[in-house]
Amino acid sequence: MSVHKHYKMFKKGKKWCYMAIATLSVAVGVMSFTQKVSADTNISNTENVSNVSVSTEKTQDTQNQNTANNQLEGIEQVPTQEQLSDNTTEAGNKLAVSPQATTIQSGWQTEDGSSYYYRDGQKLTGQQNINGKDYYFNDQGQQQKDYFLNQDNHTYYFQADGTRLNDGFYNNWGHTYYFQADGSRLDNGFYNNWGHTYYFQADGSRLDDGFYNNWGHTYYFQADGSRLDDGFYNDWGHTYYFQADGSRLDNGFYNNWGHTYYFQADGSRLDDGFYNNWG
């Protein structure tokens, strides 16, 4: 604070005084006013701070109250969880005491595109007869269709519907096969039907338009697979005769139509030739 001194004399009573004293008083008055204003300002600020403090305390109280409420709510939820746990335990005990009955699968079932057959809840495997028909199920219980089964030195065929082919013919790869009444393929055997005899070779294929040699004789099976019995066969510029039992006449005579014919050792008929015998 600066003080400006003015020296102006005036008479007061018997004494002369300087105006500087009056100026100083004014200055002191100004200082007093300034301090009052400052004090008022401080009081106002103090009130504001107090108000802020009170508001903060109220906010803090509200937060504390909310926190307390949340804590109380959390505490109140604990018995509910315990009650749920008790209910779950009780329900588990009831299930343990009284389990629900399991449904036992039975009969034909389709699973993931495969067919199974259940009996007493178990999948059947292997060859099975169901309602008079024969089926085959592999080790996983899956039904096999259009399938050849090789078992016990025999071959079986299960058709497109899964049923085993019994007493029937199967055609494929340019050949004909015969499956017997028990479902086994006829291999290296003869089949008699319709007044004819047929031969099925070692691989099961029927012998068509071919010769079969056995028991010291030769037999001919025609294009339809039937054996040629009591008939003539012409080939390679020669004529052959197959007797009533199907065997070819080799080195023998045949009498018919009032004539006698001779068939040589290879079975061919002697045409325009001489035969010498009996001396």
Break the chain into its structural domains and give their ranges. 9-85, 122-263
**Tens digit of pLDDT for each residue in 22-35?**
444 444 444 444 44
Two tokens at 10? Answer: 């005036």
pTM: 0.62
pLDDT score of 144 more than 60: yes
| 241 within 8 A of 254, measured Cβ to Cβ | yes
Please say if the pLDDT value at position 211 is more than 60: yes
Strands (E), the chain: 9-12, 15-18, 107-111, 114-119, 122-123, 126-130, 133-137, 147-151, 154-158, 168-172, 175-179, 189-193, 196-200, 210-214, 217-221, 231-235, 238-242, 252-256, 259-263
What is the per-residue pLDDT for 56?
43
Work out the pLDDT band at 139, boundaries 50, 70, 90.
Answer: very high
Residue ranges in 98-198 assigned as alpha helix (H): none
| Helical segments of the chain, H only | 19-97
Instruction: Tell me if residue 54 falls in helix, strand or coil.
Output: helix
Dump pLDDT digits (tens) for 174-188: 999 999 999 999 999
Q: 221, 74, 272, 120: which is closest to 231 by C-alpha?
A: 221
The pLDDT value recorded for residue 7 is 55
Domain with residues 122-263, CATH architecture: Ribbon (2.10)
The pLDDT confidence band at residue 136, using thresholds 50, 70 and 90, is very high
Token look-up 């047929």 returns: 198
